[in-house]
A and B are shown apart, each in its own frame.
Chain A
Amino acid sequence: GAGVSQTPSNKVTEKGKYVELRCDPISGHTALYWYRQSLGQGPEFLIYFQGTGAADDSGLPNDRFFAVRPEGSVSTLKIQRTERGDSAVYLCASSRGQGSYEQYFGPGTRLTVT
């Protein structure tokens, strides 16, 4: 079956611009996670959705970052007024929810802010 997909695979934007990153979870997975991975580092938690609601957004670095999941499936991570420090790979993961711990990751979106 299809895994987690993320689009675009690469995004180059200028400092100050707005970007949207999309995640399509595995079908039927109710839990969805966003992580950020900087070069040479492990993934860093950003936000967790259970269904349509953000159950934990404590990892979002500041109010320029926002994520939605309006129908409980596809999620969009939105970054306003991008800064060069936002450059990283943004990873999405999904799990079955209902207490299931196994998270399955997508290939990521590499964001470069120039």
Chain B
Amino acid sequence: QQQVKQSPQSLIVQKGGISIINCAYENTAFDYFPWYQQFPGKGPALLIAIRPDVSEKKEGRFTISFNKSAKQFSLHIMDSQPGDSATYFCAAGRVDKFYFGSGTKLNVKP
């Protein structure tokens, strides 16, 4: 059973636009929900994360929205820039183990 489902698989956004990536998880015991950014040939880099006791967290242009009852969370990238073009992974889990989504390849057009 896939623990974390991520969509869309790929996304094209114009510079200055909003990028939205969605994830859904299965296990209600999960208590940590990070988003990672990965460039080709590099390891994933932690972008932003949320705990289930809050519904939204914002850091700069990046916002996580969290819906505990629906078991869904999303990443919003405001004012998207060409430098944001990368693959984004959501994850969910507990301190001992994360389950990752399958990734969203974001392409921000200049």
Interface residues of A in 54-72 (CB under 8 A from B): 55-56, 58-59
B61 within 8 A of A: no
Q: Interface with A: B14-22, B74-82, B93-101, which one?
A: B93-101
A8 within 8 A of B: no
**Given A103-B46, A104-B46, A108-B43, A56–B101 Cβ distance below 8 Å?**
no
Interface residues of B in 62-79 (CB under 8 A from A): none
Interface residues of A in 15-39 (CB under 8 A from B): 31, 33, 35
In contact, A43 and B100 (Cβ under 8 angstroms): yes
In contact, B89 and A105 (Cβ under 8 angstroms): no
Tally of chain A residues near chain B (CB < 8 A): 29
B108 within 8 A of A: no
Question: Of all chain A residues, which has the CB nearest B45?
Answer: A105
Tally of chain B residues near chain A (CB < 8 A): 23
In contact, B98 and A103 (Cβ under 8 angstroms): yes
Q: Which chain A residues border B89 with CB–CB below 8 Å?
A: 42-43
Minimum distance in angstroms from A55 CB to a CB of chain B: 6
In contact, B100 and A48 (Cβ under 8 angstroms): no
Select A102's contact among B6, B44, B49, B101, beta carbons within 8 Å.
B49
A1 within 8 A of B: no
In contact, A41 and B97 (Cβ under 8 angstroms): no
Give A residues with C-beta under 8 Å from B.
Answer: 4, 31, 33, 35, 40-45, 48, 50, 55-56, 58-59, 91, 93, 95, 99-108
Query: What are 10 inter-chain pairs, A to B, with CB distance below 8 A?
Result: A42-B91, A42-B101, A43-B89, A45-B99, A48-B96, A48-B97, A55-B96, A56-B96, A102-B46, A105-B36
Give B residues with C-beta under 8 Å from A.
Answer: 4, 6, 32, 34, 36, 41-46, 49, 89, 91, 95-103
